[in-house]
Amino acid sequence: MTFKFRLYRILTSICLFFSSFLTLTGISLLFQSGFNPLMLLLAAFLSLFFVNSILSLYLQRSLLIPQFNLKESTPSGIKITGGIILFFTTIWIIRAVQLIVTAKTGVEAMREQVAALNEELAKTISSELLVGTGIIILAFSALFFSNALLGIIYLKKWKKQQEEQHNHYPDDDNLQL
């Protein structure tokens, strides 16, 4: 087992842990909102991270033990959920970096916006809080991005492994007796 595959397994486990909380949060918000359609969309979006982690586990099992085949929908599920995760986490990474870089200058603008709603809350906002928030968003985004990217990379490896296995043991459909 290579270092990259071990990293993929560890990242999948961590992502599975955190994505289960995201999914439960989305479901909780859905129930609290009285099944608001926007909350339903949010819950479905948050569950994508969990589904991708589960599909990654199946892919890893199939790579480790080639006798375990993936379901027909698993490769396309990894591609679709992985692509969506890559797209949104890229945006989150960019926004987190912007938040970290502009924390000192943006804190005053944010205080003014929050002060219109709650004066006490506006006093608690600091540049350190913004930097900390940016770092947390960056860490989680990078975690999910890396796992989805490794999933797509190892899916290609799995397909290659399946083609080699198919070429080594051809189907009996073309044999004539």
Q: What is the tens place of the pLDDT at every residue in 57-68?
A: 999 999 999 888
- Res 171: pLDDT: 58
Contacts of 50 (CB under 8 A, 6+ apart): 16, 19, 20, 22, 23
Q: Compute the average pLDDT of residues 9-26.
A: 96
Closest CA to 141 of 107, 80, 100: 100
| Summary mean pLDDT of the chain | 92
Domain ranges of the chain: 3-63+73-165
- Res 100: pLDDT: 94
Would you tell me how many other CB atoms lie within 10 Å of the CB of residue 144? 27
